[in-house]
Structure 1
Amino acid sequence: MPYNRVDVAMRELISAFSGLEAADLVDRLARAAAAVANTSYAGFVRVDPQREEARPMYVLVPPGDPLRVRSWLAESGVLKELAYAVEPVRLAYDPGVGEPGFLATPVPALSCDHVYVWVAGRGFCDGDEHLLSRYAIAAGRALEAASGLEAAVRLLRGVRAFRPA
């Protein structure tokens, strides 16, 4: 079989663009959000296009979930609040009544979904909100770039599949 530059070039591009796993990226972004906010809890919430329902798309909690953030997310009404919110949402820290402290900010620039990055586990101030908002911009760009790479791989596979022999 003769050396085929197009096949080699397509294979190399597909390999390079496929190296990023979306689930791994979301995990890394959540871990970085937790680090930025100096807490152990972070994640992402996706809101449906009609802004009627919000669902966790990723939840990072420490082993044993000492503040019970997973159950708090499901039971507290914060997901409903995020479904309607257009601004950051900050809730007070009061472990005596089961409030873990919560801060969520919209992730801008995602083309089709409303997504929030959130952190929890302590009291948050205006400075934390500003920092998380700036982080959300970077996270949005990273998620869009990953989506763009996935689309590029699909297109490259099509080019390779339909290229004349």
Structure 2
Amino acid sequence: MPYNRADVAMRELIASFSCLEAADLVDRLARGAAAVTGSAYAGFVRVDALRLEAEPIHMHGPAGDPLRVRRWLAESGVLKELATSPAAVRLAHDVTVGEPGFLAAPVPLATRDHTFVWVAGRAFGDADEHLLSRFATAAGRALEAASGLEAAVRLLRGVRAFRPR
């Protein structure tokens, strides 16, 4: 088989663009949010386009979930609050009533449903909110870039499939 520069170039582009796994990126972003804010828990929540429902799409936290944040997310009403909120949401830390402390910032995404990145596990202040908001902007860019790379791979596969041999 003769050397085909176009085929080699397409394979190389597809291989380099395919390195990014979306699930791995979301996990790394959640871990980054926890690290940046010094919290034990972090994750993402997606809100539907009609802003009626919110659902957790990823959660990073300590093994065994000692603060039971997963259960708290499901039962506390915070998901309803996120569904209707266009801005950051901060809830107080109060161990006596089972409130782990919570902060969520909207992730600016042009091509997806409304999404929040959140952190939990301690009391949060204005500086934390500012920092998480900046992190949310970076996370939004990363998620959109990953989506763009996935689209580019699909297009390149089409170019490769329909290119005359």
Both structures adopt the same fold (TM-score exceeding 0.5): yes
Task: State how 1:47-66 maps to structure 2 within 5 Å.
Answer: 47-66=47-66
Cα deviation, residue 37, structure 1? 0.7
**Partner of 2:91 in structure 1?**
91
Secondary structure of the residue aligned to 2:140 is helix
Equivalent pair of 1:106/1:115 in contact (CA under 8 Å): yes
Which residue in the other structure is 2:3 paired with? 3
Q: Secondary structure at the match of 2:86?
A: coil
Q: Find the aligned partners of 2:7 and 2:93 in 1 and give their Cα distance.
A: 57
**Runs of at least 4 residues of structure 1 off by over 4 A?**
none
C-alpha separation in 1, matches of 2:80 and 2:61: 21
The gaps in structure 1 that reach 5 residues or longer are none
Return the offset for 1:109: 2.7
Shift of 1:164: 1.1
Q: Distance in 2 between matches of 1:13 and 1:40?
A: 38
Aligned length: 165
Does the residue aligned with 1:10 lie in a helix, a strand or coil? helix
Calculate percent identity across the aligned residue pairs.
75
- Could you say which residue in structure 2 is the equivalent of 1:43? 43
Alignment TM-score, normalising by the size of structure 2? 0.99
- After superposition, the CA RMSD in angstroms is 0.6
Give the drift of 1:111. Answer: 1.4
Deviation at 1:40, TM superposition (A): 1.2
1:24-76 per-residue CA deviation (whole Å, 9 max, x = no partner) reads: 00000000000011011000000111111000000111011111100000000
TM-score (norm 1): 0.99
Matched, 1:28 2:28: yes
SS in structure 1 of the partner of residue 127 of structure 2: helix
Distance in 2, Cα, partners of 1:75 & 1:44:
17
Q: Residues 110 and 143 of structure 1 are in contact (CA less than 8 Å); yes or no, is this contact kept in structure 2?
A: no
Query: CA shift at 1:20, angstroms?
Result: 0.4
